Structure 1
Amino acid sequence: MSRAPYYAPQGGLPPQTQLLTDRAMFTESFAVIPKGTLTDIVTSNLPFWTGTRVWVIARPMSGFSETFSHYIVELSAGGGSDRPELEPLAQGVLFVVEGQISLTIDGKEHDLAEGGYAYLPAGCHWQVTNASDIAAKFHWIRKKYQAVDGLEAPEAFVTSDADTPIRFMPDTDGAWGTTRFVDPDDIRHDMHVNIVTFEPGGVIPFLETHVMEHGLYVLDGKAVYKLNREWVEVEAGDYMWLRAFCPQACYAGGPGKFRYLLYKDVNRHMPL
Structure 2
Amino acid sequence: MTYYVPTGGLPGQTELTTDRAAFTEAYAVLPRGTMRDIVTSRLPHWENTRLWVIARPLSGFAETFSWYVVEVAPGGGSAAPEPDTGAEGVLFVVGGTVSLTLDGVLHRVESGGYAFLPPGTDWALRNDAEANATFHWIRKAYERVDGVALPDAFVTHESDVPVQPMPGTDGAWGTQRFVDPDDVRHDMHVNIVSFEPGGAIPFPETHVMEHGLYVLEGKAVYLLNKDWVEVQEGDFMWLRAFCPQACYAGGPGRFRYLLYKDVNRHASLHM
Report the TM-score when normalising by structure 2.
0.98
- Bigger mean CA offset, 191-200 vs 61-70: 61-70
Aligned to 1:213: 210
Within 5 Å, which residues of 2 pair with 1:47-58? 47-58=44-55
Counterpart position of 1:94: 91
Moved over 3 A (4+): none
Offset of residue 136 of structure 1: 0.3
Q: Structure 2 matches for 1:2-41, cutoff 5 A?
A: 4-41=1-38
Query: 2:177 maps to what in 1?
Result: 180
Equivalent residue, structure 1, for 2:145:
148
Is 1:68 the counterpart of 2:65 in the alignment? yes
Give ranges in structure 2 of 5+ residues lacking alignment: none
Counterpart in the other structure of 1:84: 81
CA-based RMSD:
0.6
1:166-219 CA distance string (max 9 Å, x none): 000000010000000001011100000000000000000000001100000000
SS of corresponding position for 1:207: strand
Per-residue deviation, 1:65: 2.4
Tell me how far apart the structure 1 counterparts of residues 97 and 11 of structure 2 sit (CA, whole Å): 28
CA contact (8 A) 1:217 1:238 kept: yes
CA distance in 1, matches of 2:200, 2:260: 19
Question: Is the Cα–Cα contact under 8 Å of residues 68 and 141 in structure 1 kept in the other structure?
Answer: yes
User: SS state of the match for residue 206, structure 1?
Assistant: strand
Q: Per-residue deviation at 1:61?
A: 1.4
Does residue 254 of structure 1 match 2:242? no
**1:135 corresponds to 2:132:** yes
TM-score between the two structures when normalised by the length of structure 1: 0.98
Q: How many residues align?
A: 269
Q: Corresponding residue for 1:103?
A: 100
**How far apart are 1:149 and its partner, in Å?**
0.3
Q: Share of identical aligned residues, percent?
A: 68
Alpha-carbon separation, structure 2, partners of 1:245 and 1:63? 14
Q: 1:228 maps to which residue?
A: 225
Q: CA deviation at 1:118?
A: 0.1
Q: In the alignment, which of 239, 257, 265 is matched to residue 242 of structure 1?
A: 239
**CA shift for structure 1 position 220:** 0.1
Listed one character per residue, the Cα deviations across residues 206-238 of structure 1 (whole Å, up to 9, x for unaligned) are 000011000000000000001001110000000
- How far apart, CA to CA, are the structure 1 residues paired with 2:5 and 2:213? 14
**Cα displacement (A) at 1:62:** 2.2
Q: Which whole-Å CA distance do the structure 2 matches of 1:257 and 1:186 have between them? A: 29
- Partner Cα distance (2:46, 2:58) in 1: 25
Deviation at 1:63, TM superposition (A): 3.7
